[in-house]
Chain A
Amino acid sequence: MDLQTTIYLFVGASFALYIGIAIWARAGSTSEFYAAGGSVPPVLNGMATAADWMSAASFISMAGLISNMGYGGGLFLMGWTGGYVLLAMLLAPYLRKFGKFTVPQFIGDRFYSKSASTVAVICLLTASLTYIIGQMTGVGVAFSRFLGVTSEMGIYIGMAIVFAYAVFGGMKGITYTQVAQYCVLIAAYIVPAIFISLQLTGNPIPQLGLGSTMSGTDVSLLAKLDQVVVDLGFGKYTTTTAGSTLNMFVYTMSLMIGTAGLPHVIMRFFTVPTVAAARSSAGWALVFIALLYTTAPAVAAMAKMNLIRTITPGVVMQNTDPYAADSQIKYDERPDWMKRWEKTGLLKFADKNGDGRIQYYNDKSKDEAFKAKAEAAGWKGSELTVNADIIVLANPEIALLPNWVIALVAAGGLAAALSTAAGLLMAISSAVSHDLVKGVFAPDISEKNELLAGKVSMAVAIVVAGYLGLNPPGFAAGTVALAFGIAASSLFPAIMMGIFSKKMNKEGAMAGMLSGLFVTLFYVFAHKGLFFIKGTGFVDMIGGPNAFFGITPEAFGAIGALVNFAVAFAVDKVTKEPPEHIQHMVEAVRIPRGSKAVDGAH
């Protein structure tokens, strides 16, 4: 069977499975629609949370980023997993005890204020919408690559599929579909990694393979990798940090807090039956996430090694001189997978010094000794550009794996993008129908009409997301950082103070959310342009790029969160304390006894 037919078969079968599950798990009531009736067992909920969490970015881009960044890429690994410790201990069990459907509802009730709830809705919508645009773009790319349709067509197909199972199945349908999607995506990630680890180190477990010696040599894979990348003018793989140590520290913190504050992740903990289940469910989620996240560094390092070995086989295997004239392969003799990816434009070759061989090195190196060697060898700049996003997708081809593995990776990439898109749509739909329509505009709405409003707002959100996916407003790259920044600087501190400080009042919480959000947006917009419109940046006004102690805008969420806490406590000190019944409510939220199934009553 040829590759294209195999891919159709794998992707088609996985879609049939998702839709079948959605039909089986149709939602009848608002409680089933928003919170799956509070009946999902912790292990399954953990799996669904993992699929919800791991987006196209985790699946497709992360290993490529780590591959380029080396040690510094660990900030994604630690940041996106460490947040679950915060979520499990500081938020999830208490929000489950509180027993309502949505994050804005908690903020509105705890801070006895419709305005606080509306501020939370705004934060939630901004974070979720920016995040979803990236997912739809990812769906488009994956479809066009693997199904041979245009990117637009890919987005339309993706919209139709998500619509089918999200609108009819609600949270219940989404949850069980995500369980299936998790199984597809994790198999698609790990199977090629096992093959590659076996080829390079003889150890089938990628997590151990990364720490093993290379087959056919007596040095460890990482030591070898350090040596060959340094020879090519890159920083040492195992020690190069992301910017300064301070920046890496703050960046990791931002991702952790942002993870714990993202509404579509928090919402998952409303679907378990008890407070104790909410605690263990976060642990299971992290187990399932860790399967991918501990494999990713192995995929990253091995892909880098494979790439360099492809270009300079002798240097890696026989320690020949990397600067010798015949050490790089001839362009005409490059392997087939390079030819295939050249067609997509994501891998490019330009013979700058005209010798017909591929020189791949860091031509921006500041190391004088290296620059002298490169010049002596007649190198005129790096001739190969490799887009980081192709690392995971091209991995099975680089390792010459069979067609069914490539088809599996295609189905996995789509599962990752679709599951996250569905979770985000759910968060958006519940915020609009439950917190805005029922909470603010029409408190007397019947359950049936509220359900209808939820489905309509989900349909609208899909169309908006699809439109923005088709016409990305030029800020696709900045959006994920913004989603995390907003969640970290506004929602996380507000929820946490709502639980851990009995005396925090509405004035403090609102001032905190708004100032945290404002500071973060200010810093991000200064670098990336006002609302990401190119040319409206005002980076000089704040004293140049990364002016705040060298911290990059992506890493600024943690600073925003600090501002949020500080302002909230300052304002809280000078305004009057919350009413008696609210303080009692906080006490009740803190203890597990008396937890009941979630409902939406205001």
Chain B
Amino acid sequence: MEDNSKGYWSATLGLLGKILVIWFLVSFGAGILFAPLLNGISLGGYPLGFWFAHQGSIYVFIALIFYYGHAMGKIDRQFDVHED
């Protein structure tokens, strides 16, 4: 059980790490730090960097939370700690 709970927690942290990297890249990366570079590319009538800051990052955030809920559900069952 001790190993099991360690394994569960490190699987959880691994998932959090991955999601936080994407979270950071779309908002602080594409939306702020690299926005001037990305503005050279256009998405429809949007400069890409501007689009990430005003639209895109929000859509990615939503996807991230639902993906997290789904992936955590799988980890819960894998380590047999899910709710009944």
Q: Which residues of A contact B (CB under 8 A)?
A: 66, 71, 73-75, 77-78, 81-82, 84-85, 88-90, 93, 207-208, 210-213, 220-223, 238-239, 245, 248-249, 252-253, 274-276, 279-280, 282-283, 286-287, 290, 293-294, 297, 587, 590-595
On whether the beta carbons of B55 and A297 are closer than 8 Å, the reply is yes
Which chain B residues (15-72) contact chain A, with CB distance < 8 Å?
A: 16, 19-20, 23, 27-28, 31-33, 35-36, 39, 43-47, 50-51, 53-55, 57-59, 61-62, 64-66, 68-69, 72
On whether the beta carbons of B50 and A279 are closer than 8 Å, the reply is no
On whether the beta carbons of B53 and A71 are closer than 8 Å, the reply is yes
Closest 5 CB pairs of A and B: A220-B45, A74-B53, A211-B44, A283-B65, A279-B69
On whether the beta carbons of A591 and B5 are closer than 8 Å, the reply is yes
On whether the beta carbons of B83 and A78 are closer than 8 Å, the reply is no
> With a CB–CB cut-off of 8 A, which chain B residues contact A74?
31, 50, 53-54
On whether the beta carbons of A85 and B19 are closer than 8 Å, the reply is yes
Give the interface residue-count category, chain B.
35 or more
- Picked from A252, A274, A279, the residue with its CB within 8 Å of the CB of B32 is A252
- Picked from A252, A275, A280, A594, the residue with its CB within 8 Å of the CB of B66 is A280
Q: A77-B58, A222-B46, A276-B73 are in contact. Are A592 and B83 (CB under 8 A)?
A: yes
The number of residue pairs between A and B whose CB atoms lie closer than 8 Å in the complex comes to 140
Chain A residues touching B, majority SS: helix
> With a CB–CB cut-off of 8 A, which chain A residues contact B82?
276, 592-593
- Picked from A222, A282, A294, A594, the residue with its CB within 8 Å of the CB of B47 is A222
Chain B residues touching A, majority SS: helix
On whether the beta carbons of B69 and A283 are closer than 8 Å, the reply is yes
Given contacts A85-B61, A93-B72, A220-B45, 15 further A-B contacts (CB under 8 A): A73-B54, A74-B54, A81-B57, A82-B23, A84-B61, A85-B20, A89-B16, A210-B55, A211-B46, A220-B44, A238-B47, A280-B69, A282-B65, A286-B58, A587-B5
Residue ID in chain B nearest A293 by CB atoms: B58
Residue ID in chain A nearest B15 by CB atoms: A89
On whether the beta carbons of A249 and B53 are closer than 8 Å, the reply is no
Residue ID in chain B nearest A201 by CB atoms: B45
On whether the beta carbons of B58 and A222 are closer than 8 Å, the reply is no
Q: With A and B bound together, what is the CA distance between A250 and B5 in angstroms?
A: 36
The CB with the most chain A CB atoms within 10 A, among B36, B53, B54, B83, is that of B54
- Picked from A89, A211, A594, the residue with its CB within 8 Å of the CB of B45 is A211
On whether the beta carbons of A221 and B45 are closer than 8 Å, the reply is yes
